[in-house]
Amino acid sequence: MSLTLSEFNDLSQEDATAQLLTCCTSTSWAQTLASARPFADIDAMLVANDDAWNKAQTSEANLIEAFDGHPQIGNVDSLKEKYRNTQDSAAHEQSGANDAEDQVLEALAQGNQDYLDKFGFIFIVFATGKSAQQMLDLLLARLPNDRETELANAAAEQNKITRLRIQKLLGAA
């Protein structure tokens, strides 16, 4: 559902929070951003988003809540299904993996499991415009990091994803 900024500003706190939770599943972040209304324009909302996200990420629980809102990339069959179905949806965030070779998808599935096993949360990356190989390369580059570094990396990627989803929610992307 796309809203105008004016419509979003006019929502109740509860409804605005619910709409924001479709962009990022951190309850703390959504409530903080909904409370910052009204916004003069999308840029003001994105600045308020960054502020709300900076507050939310002071708690690891808020970060994990946001990360848990993403589907985990599972086995190779689900990866093939996920990426090849994006051909029907130009707006899909991971469309760069449409034609990924099976080897890359298998390595991506294994890498995602290795990442989850090591850090306790799924690999978060702003996938828009990236091929499966590029996502795999990023995953493999981040896998040697320590957990604190990866929480920060994932938080930064989460905010990029959230900003795009806010723009889509308000028909600005």
In whole angstroms, what is the distance from residue 44 CA to residue 139 CA? Answer: 32
Beta strands in the chain (DSSP E): none
Q: Taking the domain 5-66+163-169, which CATH number applies?
A: 1.10.3330.10
Q: State residue 55's pLDDT score.
A: 93
Q: Which two tokens stand for residue 160?
A: 């990029």
Banded model confidence at residue 75, pLDDT cuts 50, 70, 90:
low
Banded model confidence at residue 79, pLDDT cuts 50, 70, 90:
low
In whole angstroms, what is the distance from residue 130 CA to residue 25 CA? Answer: 23
Going by C-alpha positions, the residue among 55, 32, 57 that lies closest to residue 45 is: 32
Going by C-alpha positions, the residue among 82, 78, 29, 87 that lies closest to residue 53 is: 29
What 8-state DSSP symbol labels residue 36? Answer: T
**pLDDT (average), residues 115-127:** 94
Q: State residue 102's pLDDT score.
A: 82
For the entire predicted model, the pTM comes to 0.84
Q: State residue 92's pLDDT score.
A: 47
Percentage of the chain lying above the pLDDT 90 cut: 67
Going 99 to 104 to 107 to 112, the CA torsion angle's sign is: negative
Q: Which two tokens stand for residue 148?
A: 């604190």
Q: State residue 63's pLDDT score.
A: 95
Contact between 76 and 105 under an 8 Å Cβ cutoff? The reply is: yes
In the set 70, 80, 84, 165, the catalytic residue is: 70
Residue 70 is a catalytic residue: yes
Q: pLDDT at residue 77 above 80?
A: no
Going 68 to 31 to 173 to 170, the CA torsion angle's sign is: positive
Q: Where are the domains of the chain?
A: 5-66+163-169, 72-142
Between 72 and 92, residue with greater pLDDT: 72
